[in-house]
Structures are given as C-alpha cells and as structure tokens.
Amino acid sequence: MIEFHDVTLGYPGSDLLSGVTMKLAPGSFHFLTGPSGAGKTSLIKLCYGELAPNGGRVEIFGEDSVKMSRDETARMRRRIGIVHQDCQFLDHLPLDENVALPLEVAGQKADGEALTELLTWVGLAGQAQALPPSLSGGERQRAALARAVIMSPDMILADEPTGNVDWDMSLKILKLLAELNRMGKTVLMATHDLNLIRAAKGLTSARVLRIQGKRLQLAGSDL
Amino acid sequence: MIARLSILAPLFGGRSGADRVVPSTGPTALLTMLTAAAMAFLAIFALALAMATGRLADRWAGSLERSATIRISAPADQIDRQTAKVLEVLEQTPGVEFARATTPDETRKLLEPWLGPDLPVEDLPLPQLVEVTQSEAGFDAEGLHLRLAAEAPGAVLDDHERWRAPLVASAERIRAIGLLSLALITGATAAMITLAAQAALAANGQVIRALRLIGAEDRYIARAFVRRFTLRTLAGALAGTFAGALAIALMPAAEEEAGFLTGLGFQGLQWLWPLAIPALAAILAFVATRMAAFRVLRTVR
C-alpha cells in the first residue's frame, strides 16, 4: 500500500525524520507513536502526499508521491480515508453533507440509505442536520471517521483521532477503526496514548511504530 | 473543441455541489456587483463618446473635404464685376465641379444667429461669398489663389483646410481617449475581480485545504469561485449597462444647431454595442477568477 524508502524530511541541517524505511501491507493495522513534535503528523502527511520528502522515496499504491500530478494526487486521496485531529469540516454545511462530500467531489451521488446507515454506525444518525461547530469533540471525530470511510477506501490514516476526547469515546473510536481493519482496510493510527495502544490488544492484531530520534522503529512485539 | 468548451460548463450547469462548498461572502459579493455595475455604466459613456466623436470626425472630414469658399470684398460698384470674374475663372479651373454665388437671403440666414432676423443685408458692406464644390481630383489651390489675385483682387480663397484639419484631429483624439478609457475600464475591472477573487480564496483557505484532503481536483474547487464571480459580475454589468443606456437615451436629441453637445449617444445599429459590455465583463470575470483560483490552488498540495 505505502512504502517509505530511506525517507528524509525537514530542512537542511535540521531533519525531522531521517532514514525512514517502512512498508504498510494491505490489511495491516499500525499504531504510530512517539513524543509530541516527533514527526507523527508529518509522517502521516507524507503518506497522502501533502508533504514531499527531501530525500528518499514515498510510494503510495505503487506510485512515487513526488511524481504524481495534482489531479493524480487528488484521485489517490480518494483511496485513502484521512481523519485529522482537527477534523477539517466545512462549517457551513450540515453533517450529512460533510460526510457525503468525498462522493460529491468524486462526481458520485450519495445513497441516502447508505448515508444514514453510516451515520448510525458512528452513532450520529440523529445529528445529520447539525452543523459541525455545534458537535462535541467526540462527535466530530466520529463524523470525520464516517467521512473517511464513505468512499470505501483501501486505507485509513488517522492522526490523533482521540486527542480531544475522553477515554470512553477514545475506546469507541478505536473499536470503529478495529472493525474497519477486520473488514480488510489498512489502518495507520497516530497516537501518543499508550493506554489506548494496550487497550487495542484483543480488538485487533496491530504493530506499533515509534518515532525516536528522527528515526522510525518497530516498538516491542506485535500486539 | 468540445473539450475546450467544457471549461465553460460550470457557468451553464445548474446549481452544483461545487457552489455549496464555498460559504457565501456577503460584502464581497455586493462589492463585486456594485463595482461591475459602475464600470459598465462608465464603459457605456466611454463607448458613446468614442462613437459620437467618430461620427463627428467623419462628418467634418467628409462633408467639408470637397468644399471651398471664395470671399469677395470690394467696393459696391465693383463687387458684381469681380463676382462674375471669379465665377468665370472657376468655370475654367480644372477640378471645380460646381460654383455659385450665395444669394442675399442665404447671407441673411448665415448671419441671423448673431445679428437677428431683420438684418438689412443689402445696405451693409458685406463680402459676397462664392460656394465651390471640388471634383474627386480637386483643384490646384495655389494656382487658383494666384489667378484670383490677378483677375479679382478682392477675392480670397478659403479651402477650409486651415480650420478643418485641427477639428478633425481633435475629434480623432477624443475618439482615441474614449477608446483608451474603455481599455482602462476593462483593465480596472479585471484587476478588481482578481483582487476580490483572491480575497475570497484567501478567506476560504480552510475550505480549500479540506477539499484537497478528501480528493477534490483543482478544477472542482475553482469552479465554485469562477461561477460565483462570473455570475455576480454579469448581473452587476447588466444593471450598469441598462442604467447607462437609459441615461444616454434620455439625453436631448441631436440637433444641427447644438451639434456635438447633443450628439453624444448611439444611432441605429450602434445601440447593439452596449450589449457587448455585460458579455465582455462576464468573460473578463471568468478568465480573471480562473487564473486567480489556479494560482492560489497551486500553493496548496
């Protein structure tokens, strides 16, 4: 799915990431952890082409991310569901339209029944007409997850999706991601919450990647 | 060709989803429409000025081009003889198509605006005028001047060139200024729309980033801005054109006596020209917004 080959990111003389080599295989579940400012968000941005590496090569679905045209990058992102910590909604559109937006930009029609089913899956069926600013942090994260999966992507990239929610909501979001992984989706979830990583044991078979000293390490054994 | 025309599709399709992804910006929208209306209003007047001066230059250049006047100032007992001599000379001059002496009635009519209707023309020592029409080839003015000086010493030839040339040049210059004004209005409109579009794009940076994140192509994002600014400009320009055309239509009708001052406006098929202004404004808005949108979008990966 995604392969990093000796990737370096940063400014000359001050690298954020250095010599990163990794491979996210189809159907895998990886946690990405490390201290704040270690480069978790930057690594995730490399995975969907928002950032370009200074050195090395990032291959997304077999294509070099740097060589993709802007339209190719856009089409590649339709195969990846992205959940940001700040969600990035269009605040003037109701929740159901925000969730269906990836279909709209891809020129597809949203199936009303499937949309309701998706909102029910994330527990937001009753909030379909609510505007994003009126939702709580947990509701926004679950809505972002719904938007990320509406195109039935091959992969989910979640950047600190539990960063602003309480423990119960964190577990709910984790369970949703684990469920997606069981459905065959590749998942990469960035988090600094080690308790959450421990809680994943039993829910899914995951590997933990840790950014330490600008490098990426496989932390401990598989969960 | 069809592929090229497809870039216009966003303008003519129904209200698409792309329209809804950008929140409406009330003050910018109103400002764009008002500016487009003002520019269209000014453009109508610049166009009317250019056309009126064009007509004036053509009239001055055309109607007097082949005419000349001979003024005979002589003592009363010699004036008829000299007039007859002048007409005889003109008859023999190559390039003269027609010549005749003006009647006292015509002289009275010429002086009436200045001296009143009851002018005793016969009692005044007024010069006799001879109206001359040249053929296509024209006459040799210098030769005629010398011959008149020899045979009718009181006759002075005025081929109108002395005062006609600067008038035609002035009219041509006013027409050029009118066209230059149109060009400036076009440039200012393009600049205004570009600035407004860039402001709208900058204000919607978050929307653009979110759309790129979920896989929106640049043309999808640009469509919303392009359609909005084009339609707003078209609406504003239509209103401005209508107001401008109405103001021109309500101006006093052109009359011979007032000439240029009341001649500002359109005549006949020239009334179709104002219709081009809203269309031109819309094309300008389409191109300016599209360029601004793609320039801004290139800064977001």
Q: Which of B207, B218, B301 sits opposite A90 (nearest CB)?
A: B207
Average pLDDT over residues B145-171: 83
Q: Which of A141-145, B67-71, B161-165, B171-175 has the highest mean pLDDT?
A: A141-145
Can you say whether residue B159 is alpha, beta or left, with left for phi > 0 and alpha for psi between -120 and 50 degrees? alpha
Q: What average pLDDT does the segment A189-203 reach?
A: 89
Domains and CATH numbers, chain B: 9-61+165-297 (no CATH), 65-159 (3.30.70.100)
Ranges A73-77, A193-197, B153-157, most confident: A73-77
Which of A68, A88, A108 to mutate to test binding with chain B, by most B CBs within 10 Å of its CB? A88
Residue B173 confidence (pLDDT) above 70: yes
- pLDDT score at B165: 78
The predicted model gives A71-96 an average pLDDT of 92
pLDDT digit string, tens, across residues B287-301? 989 998 899 898 888
pLDDT > 90? residue A7: yes
Instruction: Please give the pLDDT value at position B14.
Output: 44
Nearest CA in chain B to A71: B217
DSSP secondary structure, chain B, as one string: -HHHHGGGHHHHS-S-HHHHTSPP-HHHHHHHHHHHHHHHHHHHHHHHHHHHHHHHHHHHHHHTTTEEEEEE---HHHHHHHHHHHHHHHHHSTTEEEEEEPPHHHHHHHHHHHH-TT--GGGS-PPEEEEEEE-SS---HHHHHHHHHHH-TTEEEE-SHHHHHHHHHHHHHHHHHHHHHHHHHHHHHHHHHHHHHHHHHHHTHHHHHHHHHTT--HHHHHHHHHHHHHHHHHHHHHHHHHHHHHHHHTSPPP-TTTGGGG--S--GGGGGHHHHHHHHHHHHHHHHHHHHHHHHHTT--
Mean per-residue pLDDT over chain B, rounded: 83
Q: Which value does ipTM take for this structure? A: 0.89
Rounded to a whole number, what is the distance in angstroms from the first to the last CA of chain B? Answer: 30
Report pLDDT for A53.
95
B217 with A75: Cβ contact below 8 A:
yes
Question: Does position B12 have pLDDT exceeding 60, yes or no?
Answer: no
Q: What angle do CA B35, B204, A125 make, to 5 degrees?
A: 125
Q: Where are the domains of chain A?
A: 1-79+157-223, 86-152
Nearest residue, CB atoms, A82 vs list B213, B218, B298? B213
Nearest-by-CA chain A residue for B214: A102
Stronger pLDDT, B78 or B124, i.e. the higher one? B78
Region B216-245 average pLDDT: 92
Q: What percent of chain B has pLDDT over 70?
A: 88
Residue B199 has what pLDDT? 84
- Tell me the pLDDT band of A26, cut-offs 50, 70 and 90: very high
B258 has a pLDDT exceeding 60: no
Across the range B75-93, mean pLDDT stands at 88
Cβ–Cβ under 8 Å, residues A131 and A91: yes
Mean pLDDT, rounded, for B215-220:
92
Task: State the count of interchain CB pairs (< 8 A) between A and B.
Answer: 62
pLDDT digits (tens, 9 = 90+) for B276-289: 999 999 998 999 89
User: Higher-confidence residue: B23 or A71?
Assistant: A71
Residue, of A127 and B18, whose pLDDT is higher: A127
pLDDT band for A219, please (50, 70, 90 cuts).
confident
Please report the pLDDT score of residue B5 as a whole number: 52
Res. B15: pLDDT tops 50: no
Q: Kindly state the helix (H) or strand (E) to which residue B118 belongs, with its residue range.
A: none
A49/B301 touch (CB, cutoff 8 Å), yes or no? yes
Distance CA B7, CA B19 (A): 15
pLDDT of residue A70: 94
- Is domain A1-79+157-223 given the CATH code 3.40.50.300 in the classification? yes
